Amino acid sequence: MALTVVGSIAFDSVHTPFGERDRMLGGSAVHFALAASFFTEVRVVGPVGDDFGDEEIAVLTDHGFETADIGRAAGGGTFFWCGHDEHDLNVAHTDDTQLNVFAEFEPKLSDGSRDSEALFLGNIQPDLQRGVRAEADGARFVALDSMNLWIDTARDSLVAAIGEIDCLLLNDAELRMLTGEPNLIHAARSVLELGPSIVVAKRGEYGAALFTATDTFAIPALPLEEVRDPTGAGDSFAGGFLGYLDGEGAHDPSAEQLRRAMVMGSVMASFNVEDFGTERVRRLERPEIDARVGEFKALTHFEG
Amino acid sequence: MALTVVGSIAFDSVHTPFGERDRMLGGSAVHFALAASFFTEVRVVGPVGDDFGDEEIAVLTDHGFETADIGRAAGGGTFFWCGHDEHDLNVAHTDDTQLNVFAEFEPKLSDGSRDSEALFLGNIQPDLQRGVRAEADGARFVALDSMNLWIDTARDSLVAAIGEIDCLLLNDAELRMLTGEPNLIHAARSVLELGPSIVVAKRGEYGAALFTATDTFAIPALPLEEVRDPTGAGDSFAGGFLGYLDGEGAHDPSAEQLRRAMVMGSVMASFNVEDFGTERVRRLERPEIDARVGEFKALTHFEG
């Protein structure tokens, strides 16, 4: 099994109440791929600039990613994001975004990336997502993430992109914004009518909820002693979720597989926020994942 | 077993995107007692005014509450609250509060109310809570709710009151505000150091979390088709939580009893919000409660 991800590969500068980092490795594709790499083979598609060095590439290849589709655009800079978090860590504030090489990005997939059974369209401009979706003709399970920016500025493209996928992942506030439905069940149903068979509402420190035509599942986030930087938590969630499904060969997943994938997404997001950027997931060992699945079980179990 | 509650008995005027009600029966003691009455015998302590008629009293006695300690203050008006909710229903906006008879309230407990094994100190001025706590010398399990107003204006009294109870229920934002700890685990630990052995963080549409020295439990809220008015949800949660524990005779509850009480609190809160004020819980039947416990199990279960 293999999983292709398209999304940003970035340098992030982040300031939280617990510290700061300057130009650390980040981006939706990177966070996603690191999380997914514990479960399946990952192929990364995305542009970087001249300033993206061998050291950064090595982080990716060391985790076993296929990097043939990471294109280095001569004369350009890597996508750059700068933001900060307040004490409650629920809302990220963007201070600066520099598209750089992303402004001219035209994704081209190698045969390997086209043949992957699963595809994740990370949070980039929806027309780019559609282009990748069309190229990835081997994909049997396709998920998409987006954000308020595209709901505001490229709504029709985003709705068209959502019509071509199996699973939408969005923050719950964005689900409400996209559909105009304040009630989350009604919002999820509206999305199911657009095409996807699965909707995942991401809720930050409150966990996540899953909706299909026949099932509803919700999981709280694990309360953590140490939360230093939530950047990338949503992409780590998606990486655990899709990576698990692809690793299980679940491209038409059952309700039980989807529930277990929600747990894996929650587990990976919980590690992501414990340190800055990719730092925690980069030093993560597989037994820690299994132990944390047990912690989620202990957190949520009750005798009916 | 019996459970005494002190708190407001009120007329509420509420406006939400789904409708409005003028001077409907409400108040923390009423919402709490209605929820708890499905599980145990409830005794209500609180003042009402001349305008609190036989019809309102009948609602309480019809549900089997002991109302000997509902004092009617001659020449006064019943506590009145007026508020509205926005579309997301997560934040209640207070437009008007009239203390009326509550301004002069000096709780005096009858022998029956003093002898109850369990006591809930609903959200009123902390010195009044302390007075009731001191009088209720039969109480073996005492829980307390409060709000940002008392953290701001009567912090020392509130901390003293918290030092005299077994279980604190607060919104998670208020737990952070009370302790100055942005991390919820650290906030809960700070409260445990003040005296209680149990802390419940209420999270509105996101559910609730429980912390003791040795256990952490979290439960999402049930996604609902119809949410019309969240007023009283926190008190309904507390009523289900404490009512269940008292009905089980669990005055030194085990972790498993506390988890089950969290489910009962969540169940009762989920009914409360489905209609205005007390309307849904007043027409609730016991089999609906058991069915909804099953829905919570289905919502949260996964194979570890």
* pLDDT tens, position by position, A83-135: 988 766 666 788 998 989 988 888 889 999 999 999 999 999 999 999 999 99
User: CB–CB of A223 and B217 under 8 A?
Assistant: no
Q: Report which residue type is found at B108.
A: K
| Bridge partners of residue A302, in order along the sequence | none
pLDDT over 90, % of chain A? 83
Position B88 confidence tier, pLDDT thresholds 50, 70, 90: low
Mutate to test the interface with B, among A217, A300, A302 (most CBs of B within 10 A): A302
* Structure ipTM over 0.85, yes or no: yes
Rounded CA-CA distance B40/B181 in Å is: 36
Report the C-alpha dihedral over residues B242, B247, B249, B250, rounded to 10 degrees: -30
Q: What is the pLDDT of residue A236?
A: 98
**Mean pLDDT value of segment B161-165:** 98
Q: What is the pLDDT of residue A85?
A: 81
Contact list in A for residue B303 (CB cut-off 8 A) is: 256, 259-260
Out of B87, B218, B224, name the one closest to residue A299 (CB).
B218
User: CB–CB of B224 and A185 under 8 A?
Assistant: yes
pLDDT of A164 above 90: yes
> What does the block give as tokens for B12?
């509420």
CB-CB neighbours of A64 under 10 Å: 13
Rounded CA-CA distance B241/A154 in Å is: 46
**Mean pLDDT value of segment B256-267:** 98
**Mean pLDDT value of segment A203-226:** 96
Q: Are A242 and B289 in contact (CB under 8 A)?
A: no
- Based on the number of CB atoms within 10 Å of its own CB, is B97 exposed (0-12), middle (13-18) or buried (19 or more)? middle
Q: Which of A127, A148, A145 is nearest to A35 (CA)?
A: A145
Closest approach of chain B CAs to the CA of A295, in angstroms? Answer: 10
Closest approach of chain B CAs to the CA of A252, in angstroms? Answer: 18
Tell me: the pLDDT tens digits for B233-255?
A: 999 999 999 999 999 999 999 99
Measured at the alpha carbon of residue B44, what is the angle toward residues B38 and B47, in degrees to the nearest 5? 145
Contact list in A for residue B222 (CB cut-off 8 A) is: 218
Contacts across the A-B interface (CB distance below 8 Å)? 105
Position A138 confidence tier, pLDDT thresholds 50, 70, 90: very high
Closest approach of chain A CAs to the CA of B290, in angstroms? Answer: 10
Q: Are B234 and B145 in contact (CB under 8 A)?
A: yes
Rounded CA-CA distance A175/A199 in Å is: 9
